[in-house]
Amino acid sequence: MNEIFLQSPHRRWNPLKREWVVVSPHRTARPWQGQTEDPVQASSPTYDPACYLCPGNTRAGGHRTPEYTGIYVFENDFAALKADSPQAAFDLNGRGLLRAETEYGICRVLCFDPRHDLTLATMEIPSIRRVVEMWANQAEELSADPRIQYVQIFENRGAMMGSSNPHPHGQIWATEHIPNEPALELAAQAAYLHDHQQQLLSSYLAMELAEQERVVAVNETWAALVPFWATWPFELLLLPRHEVARIEAMTVAQRDGLAEMLKRVTHGYNQIFHTPFPYSMGLHPAPADGEPHPEWLLHLHFYPPLLRSATVRKFMVGFELLGSPQRDITPESAADRLRDAIAS
Ligand code: H2U
Ligand code: ZN
């Protein structure tokens, strides 16, 4: 890449959301006197009697988490969306300014492992593979509901990301409407396929694999890279190397490869600042609306907040909130660090 873009202020195009990101590589030596966060305690017991996700413990509302082995899925006791809410729509005077509609949905919590002290980074690959299988089963089951249009599977990891509990777990929100982020990606991918007769993300991956500047890990079926347009310092995009749009449509090899890739990237994250790395991670499959979605490539986003140590995080404030997202370290230098961390 032209040296100018590694040293001078510029903006980069995010073709997946069709928006610009400001990059300020010259600012990386900027002094920091702002907030630091207390490092997270790394050690925790294998079983915590106060944890609502540990086998045999009581949850809110009197529910009991069974003595599960492997994985365990349950309906969120404080579900943001419900399957039994009434249906209504509102648009005051038909002017599109005061609009509301009811939202049907199903929210579940997924325990990745009975052991309280593990994370994706420290779980064995066969255990992560079991999580991938559960994601596929859940996606298939929830997509079959004719009122569900999108199945959003995600993990909030670490107190810094608002995770309520260190026990390894994720969530599913299956919704009646396509949420904002996948809706942007749907429009962008559909327009790209229409204009170029190629998938946006497949074409992008081919270019990244040729460039090798931002790719941090590759196996037979998946690649992990810091996207050219990354906004978070150590953001990652995981892309399958062969076409697949839906979680449940992944081949056995793709499921195996994803488990291995998840282990590598989460382990690598922990190596960067020698601390359990917080993040929000999620899968973006094609909408569950019964359409074939030839434009869509299944992918995973990792959005980690840490910037320069276990305690100094990137804030999305000021210009990022009011103008455009902005970053200091280049995606290329983040990729160099991540590649080394994954290899270590
Ligand atoms: P995090 O993934 O952000 O930690 O959230 C965990 C979810 O677990 C949260 O959505 C649910 C909360 O509603 N929960 C239960 O379903 N039962 C409980 O007893 C506590 C928390
Ligand atoms: Zn626990």
CA of 143 to the centre of ligand 1 (A): 22
CA of 273 to the centre of ligand 1 (A): 28
Tokens of 306: 């840490």
- Range 280-283 contact pairs with CB under 8 angstroms and sequence separation of 24 or more: 280/154, 280/155, 280/156, 280/157, 280/161, 280/304, 281/154, 281/155, 281/157, 282/152, 282/153, 282/154, 282/155, 283/135, 283/152, 283/153, 283/154, 283/247
pLDDT tens string for the chain (344 positions)? 888 998 999 999 999 999 999 999 988 766 555 666 666 555 689 999 999 999 999 998 889 999 999 999 999 999 999 999 899 999 999 999 999 999 999 999 999 999 999 999 999 999 999 999 999 999 999 999 999 999 999 999 988 888 879 999 999 999 999 999 999 999 999 999 999 999 999 999 999 999 999 999 999 999 999 999 999 999 999 999 999 999 999 999 999 999 999 999 999 999 999 999 999 999 999 999 999 999 999 999 999 999 888 888 999 999 999 999 999 999 999 999 999 999 98
Residue 61 alpha carbon, nearest atom of ligand 1: 19
Residues touching ligand 1 (Cβ under 6 Å) are 52, 59-60, 76-78, 109, 156, 162-165, 169, 171
Q: What pLDDT, on the 0 to 100 scale, is given for residue 37?
A: 61
- Nearest-angstrom CA–CA distance, 201 and 221: 15
**Residues 6 or more apart whose Cβ sits within 8 Å of residue 313:** 35, 37, 160, 305, 306, 307
- The DSSP letter of residue 277 is P
Q: What pLDDT, on the 0 to 100 scale, is given for residue 62?
A: 87
**Would you say how long the chain is, in residues?**
344
Question: Of the residues 116, 167, 169, 301, which is catalytic?
Answer: 169
Contact 106, 148 (CB under 8 A): yes
Residue 171 alpha carbon, nearest atom of ligand 1: 2
Pocket test for ligand 1, best of 63, 73, 77 (most atoms within 8 A of CB): 77
- The DSSP letter of residue 165 is -
CA of 41 to the centre of ligand 1 (A): 21
**242 annotated active-site:** no
Q: What pLDDT, on the 0 to 100 scale, is given for residue 344?
A: 87
Is 38-343 a domain of CATH 3.30.70.120?
no
Q: Name the residues around ion ligand 2, CB cutoff 5 A.
A: 48, 51, 53-54, 116, 167
CA of 111 to the centre of ligand 2 (A): 9
Q: Which phi and psi angles does 21 have, rounded to 5°?
A: -125, 130
Q: Among all ligands shown, which has an atom nearest to the Cα of 48? A: 2
Q: What pLDDT, on the 0 to 100 scale, is given for residue 159?
A: 87
CA of 169 to the centre of ligand 2 (A): 9
What residue's CA is closest to ligand 1, atom 17?
77
Q: Among all ligands shown, which has an atom nearest to the Cα of 50? A: 2
Pocket test for ligand 1, best of 53, 164, 169, 303 (most atoms within 8 A of CB): 164
- Nearest-angstrom CA–CA distance, 284 and 298: 6
Pocket test for ligand 1, best of 78, 81, 119 (most atoms within 8 A of CB): 78
Q: What pLDDT, on the 0 to 100 scale, is given for residue 80?
A: 97
Q: Among all ligands shown, which has an atom nearest to the Cα of 164? A: 1
Q: What pLDDT, on the 0 to 100 scale, is given for residue 126?
A: 98
CA of 52 to the centre of ligand 2 (A): 6
Q: What pLDDT, on the 0 to 100 scale, is given for residue 39?
A: 60
Among residues 97, 131, 111, 156, the alpha carbon closest in space to that of 279 is found at: 156
Q: What residue spans define the domains of the chain?
A: 38-343
- Nearest-angstrom CA–CA distance, 200 and 286: 13
> Residue 301: which H helix or E strand, with range?
strand 299-303
pTM: 0.95
- Nearest-angstrom CA–CA distance, 224 and 299: 10
